[in-house]
Amino acid sequence: MKKEQIRFLENVAADGFVGLEQIIYDGWELRFTQGYTGRANSVQIRGESTIELSEKVYFCEKVYEEHGLPCMFKLTDADVELITFLENRGYQKYKPTDVMLLELNSADTDYEMPDDVYFSATPDDWFKSYFEFEDITDETKRDLTRKIHAKVSVKQIYISVMYKKTVAAVASLAIENGYSLLHNVVVFPELRGIGLGRKLCQAAIMKSGECGASHIYLQVMQNNPVALNLYKKLGFEKQYTYYYLTI
């Protein structure tokens, strides 16, 4: 995938999962959310730069230090120069994550929406199941999650799949400029392996098309072979990899 296409996808993905505090600095976005999640507490490239890397990195390090957080960068395969600079400075890569994309006009949509899949424009009831399935018991983290979702300004859809009249799997969509981000995908641990994840993703694919999206994409860590295999079977193709870098 070309650099400009990667930057586009990174930008729409950033709009679908925001930081509670953001600082824009010469084309970079610095995010802060009390240290909860990498995406909401890292530096991301949003546009072109004019200031030298050494000056910009020093600025970021100082600002994160003032917030009591480690300085962390979220960078892609396209950010070779900055990755090299940071590695020479002692930063290390971790959590390599693949971004996978599916063109909806080529997707297998030879199925009907099941009666046991529900959609909502608000996450009020959805959060209960999401927190349980992800084992998020800390009330501060729950509150931060609610605030992150409330701050997202693009169209959001919350998906719940039922099993024996109980919510068994959830996910959400964030749709912008024809691209639908599928994230927060989680199946109740005791019900994994019976096809609920596939049903959830198929519902997300169909709903994205109904909402006018031309593509659906997702982010999956490379150490999650079960999810990677499922997404490949559904037709998603890897476009690039992103990493977090910190000292």
Give pLDDT tens digits for 193-213: 999 999 999 999 999 999 999
**Predicted local confidence at residue 185, as pLDDT:** 98
Asked if 159 contacts 119 with a C-beta cutoff of 8 angstroms, the reply is yes
Mean pLDDT value across residues 19-42: 97
Kindly indicate the confidence band of residue 6, based on its pLDDT and cuts at 50, 70 and 90: very high
pLDDT (average), residues 60-72: 98
CA dist 51 to 34, 73, 139, 160, Å? Answer: 27, 17, 40, 46
**Is 0.85 surpassed by the pTM of this model?**
yes
Report the side by side order of strands in the sheet with 237-246: 21-25, 28-32, 43-45, 72-76, 237-246, 92-103, 215-221, 179-187, 166-176, 155-163, 117-120
For 102-239, CATH number? 3.40.630.30
Is there a contact between 74 and 223 (Cβ–Cβ < 8 Å)? no
- Of the pLDDT bands very low, low, confident and very high (cuts 50, 70, 90), residue 107 is low
CATH 3.40.630.30 in the chain, residue ranges = 102-239
